Amino acid sequence: MSKETMNEARAVISAETPDWPGALIVASGELDVQSVPELRERLAEAIDAGNRSIVVDMSEVSFIDSLSLSALVGARRKLGDDGHLAIVAVHEYVRLILQATGLEQVMDVFETRDDAVAFVRD
């Protein structure tokens, strides 16, 4: 099962059914004001479905804005202390933004999907 939206070819965001208990959201391209509604929707769907472990794979994301960062922070807060939100980020710009905003210190950020999945499964 996969839901996918393309925002003027700038971003693709899909929700995939993983082979582990939880949710997997895969994003690519540029996460900006045009794509943030879809990102929020996918995160809300995952949380509303009762998932306590969510991996957001942004390994193919080359740009992220403050609204998209806010969507991730909001999802993390909704999950509460017993939930896990793991973010996969490898692009230099995205990592720099996560570091500069301090979010890399308060969110769980990984370089590979396998590492993120291992984190949420523990």
Render pLDDT for 66-111 as a digit per residue (tens, 0 to 9): 999 999 999 999 999 999 999 999 999 999 999 999 999 889 999 9
In this prediction, residue 75 carries a pLDDT of: 97
Long-range CB pairs of 9-12 (<8 Å, 24+ gap) are 10/34, 10/35, 11/35, 11/38, 11/61
Long-range CB pairs of 38-41 (<8 Å, 24+ gap) are 38/5, 38/7, 38/11, 38/13, 39/13, 39/68, 39/71, 39/72, 40/71, 40/74
> Average model confidence (pLDDT) for the chain?
92
By C-alpha distance, which of 71, 85, 75 is closest to 33? Answer: 71
**Domains contained in the chain, CATH given:** 2-121 (3.30.750.24)
Please name the residue that has the structure tokens 């306590």: 52
Average pLDDT of the segment spanning 19-29: 96
Q: What percent of the chain has pLDDT over 70?
A: 93
